Amino acid sequence: MSAPTRFDRGHTDDLMSFLAASPTPYHAVATAAERLEKAGFRQVAETDAWDGSSGGKYVLRGGAIIAWYVPEGAEPHTPFRIIGAHTDSPNLRVKPLPDTGAHGWRQIAVEIYGGPLLNSWLDRDLGLAGRLSLRDGSTRLVNIDRALLRVPQLAIHLDRSVSSEGLKLDKQRHLQPVWGLGDAREGDLIAFLEEESGVPAGEVTGWDLMTHSIERPAYLGRDNELLAGPRMDNLLSVHAATAALAAAAADPGLSYIPVLAAFDHEENGSQSDTGADGPLLGSVLERSVFARGGSYEDRARAFAGTVCLSCDTGHAVHPNYAERHDPTHHPRAGGGPILKVNVNNRYATDGSGRSVFAAACEKAGVPFQSFVSNNSMPCGTTIGPITAARHGIKTVDIGVAILSMHSARELCAADDPFLLTNALVAFLEG
């Protein structure tokens, strides 16, 4: 534990900027790509023939990014060291016919994405962001990062049962945000977004749009020991992995090929062409092997020596609900990254994987903690088991412990993000 850390609180400052710049998966991968470009990486198209040259490369597909760095002299069978994460977060997403309303209120029709804490989206100033698809086949990112929408809660005077029975929300009837007064007009929202984005009227023919809290990430507490912000599940990990990959690429002594794999759609099962259960990661890794003159035997050798850290946020012990946690495993905020274990393979960690992560933490001088779920409660899952099963790759589940997971605004210790990143650098460098 004596090795000095390479990142400090300035890393957390940078995380706050990353969160603010990334209201959607599409923005998150664009932001990550921009940072990798500054570190010397270059984008390669999936439709082009790939060469076996050394250096940093990345592929963008929708809300997913796969980036990797090939050291000088890497053999076709050189194993990979992968950090897996996801770019999506639970939220409210715009329906195909968005313009609706009632009783003099103009509203936007939304669908629930993933498993958000619905009450956290009430009475909160919301922006709107995402991807516009144009008539010529191109796409345009859009981000209305100002108070545009609001899901108004019912006054307690009109529902006295809230005090005794708790808040009950109907996902269809109670979560449609308002954005103006008057009667709904078909095409109004998209026309507004075209104007805001500088797109000629009538050119938008498709969209993938979602709401986001416009409140900025902020340090919290007497001594600024806490960080509050949106989408930390799981952009905290995407940011850490991006920084770690850029740092590892500067190491001249790499014995592995370091990889960032940030997928979309983890929050609803990962089954898409940009999800962890799709072919994207396997395709990129195989093409990298073959581009360096490798055979199927080289591919098998590379995969057999590969390790993936599935990096996602986990649960810190909650001071008001400690009984919901395992009584002997209480991950503390500020205690360093957590190693997630579940013997029923909801997480992919086993004993040998634990050793890999423990070695990285020891090299980085970073403490780590163990997490298991209370036996009486169902355990969540990650991209870890999917990655292990789909590609036959040893996978270890880790992350940062947070509170308020799946809220519109989550909470962690301010020092944990850079502790995680130091461990990830050590892992990638082997």
Q: What is the pLDDT of residue 1?
A: 39
Residue-level pLDDT at 333: 96
Q: Are 411 and 404 in contact (CB under 8 A)?
A: yes
Bridge-partner residues for 106, per DSSP? 101, 180
Instruction: Please give the pLDDT value at position 401.
Output: 98
Q: List, in sequence order, every residue forming a beta bridge with 325; answer none if it has no partner.
A: 373
Q: 106 in helix, strand or coil? A: strand
62 pLDDT higher than 90: yes
Q: What is the mean pLDDT of the chain?
A: 96
Q: What is the percent of the chain where pLDDT is above 70?
A: 99
Taking the CA atoms of the chain, what radius of gyration do you get in angstroms?
A: 22
Residue 234, preceding bond cis, omega within 30 degrees?
yes
pLDDT at 168 over 60: yes
Instruction: Quick: pLDDT tens for 403-414.
Output: 999 999 999 999
Amino acid, res. 21: A
What pLDDT shows up at residue 180? 97
DSSP assignment of 284-325 equals: HHHHHHHHTT--HHHHHHHHHT-EEEEE--EEPPPTT-GGGB
Distance between CA atoms of residues 274 and 266, nearest Å = 10
Residue 7 pLDDT grade (very low, low, confident, very high; cuts 50, 70, 90): confident
- H/E element, 196: helix 188-197
Instruction: State the Cα–Cα distance between residues 113 and 90, nearest whole angstrom.
Output: 5
Model confidence over 323-341: pLDDT tens digits? 999 999 999 999 999 999 9
Q: Are strands 338-340 and 105-113 parallel, antiparallel or unpaired?
A: unpaired
pLDDT interval class at 5 (50, 70, 90): low
pLDDT at 4: 56
Binned at pLDDT 50, 70 and 90, residue 164 comes out as confident
Q: Does the reported pTM lie above 0.85? A: yes
Percentage of the residues of the chain whose pLDDT score is greater than 90: 96
Q: In what order do the strands lie in the sheet with 178-181?
A: 139-149, 126-134, 204-213, 91-102, 105-113, 178-181
287 has a pLDDT exceeding 50: yes
